[in-house]
Amino acid sequence: MKISQKKFVYLISPLKIKKSFFNDLTQIFKQKKVNFFQLRLKKVSYKKKFVIGKKIKKICKKFNIKFLINDDVYLAKKLNADGCHLGQKDMNIFEARKIIGNKKIIGITCHNSIKLAKISTKNKADYIALGAFNYSKTKKIKYKASINLLKKVRKIIKTPIVAIGGINSDNYKKLLLNKANFLAISGYIWNNKKLKPIEAIKKLK
């Protein structure tokens, strides 16, 4: 996977898609900081996700951003997305590969586990996600990861690492300095009480 170091944001969708979302997304992409966009909608029907996904895919294509689907391999295939992201309780990577093929990106959640990071790398995941590094309002925190863990994993694997969990303009640099390749960001952009999405992304330099 080619990695642009200027682009380090792995943007995750808000849990609810408002009308203003598509325009905001376009403005954010124009900042040239986003490498990946993940559609993560938990309480939305398959049909609605498909309609939303088609619109997002067009915008991603225009800005050359990889479009991934959270959890749902079949939706990723139907949308012909660039890949999907799998949690530990989702479909295993071998089954997912059979469905979406070898050329698609598959990322795996590894929480705060060196063992899971090693297994995912061995199973040829395209990236692994570690975290949560900070408190997050987007998701309940079950696993807490440290900078120390990030350093240890970085020493033993070459697979790109996506850091997740409560990342914002105050804490993001520390993760990049410790060799996280990408930063998964959602709440800081979409649920920021002080900044609009475009203002929030501009603060990540």
Residue pLDDT, tens place only, 150-164:
999 999 999 999 999
At 150, give phi and psi (nearest 5°): -55, -45
Q: State the pLDDT at residue 140.
A: 75
Check residues 143 and 129 and name the one with the higher pLDDT.
129
All structural domains of the chain: 9-202 (3.20.20.70)
- How far from 45 is each of 16, 48, 50, 52, CA to CA, in Å? 12, 5, 9, 11
pLDDT tens for each residue of 68-122? 999 999 999 999 999 999 999 999 999 999 999 999 999 999 999 999 999 999 9
Q: What is the mean pLDDT of residues 43-47?
A: 94
pLDDT tens column, 132-149: 999 877 677 788 999 999
Asked if the model's pLDDT at residue 4 lies above 90, the reply is no
Q: What is the DSSP letter of 161?
A: E
Q: Which two tokens stand for residue 20?
A: 């203003």
Pairwise pLDDT comparison (42 vs 54), residue with the higher score? 54
Q: Do 109 and 129 touch, CB atoms closer than 8 A?
A: yes
From residue 104, alpha-carbon distances to 5, 42, 67, 97, 101 in Å are 21, 22, 10, 8, 6
| Confidence at residue 5, expressed as pLDDT on a 0 to 100 scale | 56
Structure confidence at residue 84 (pLDDT): 98
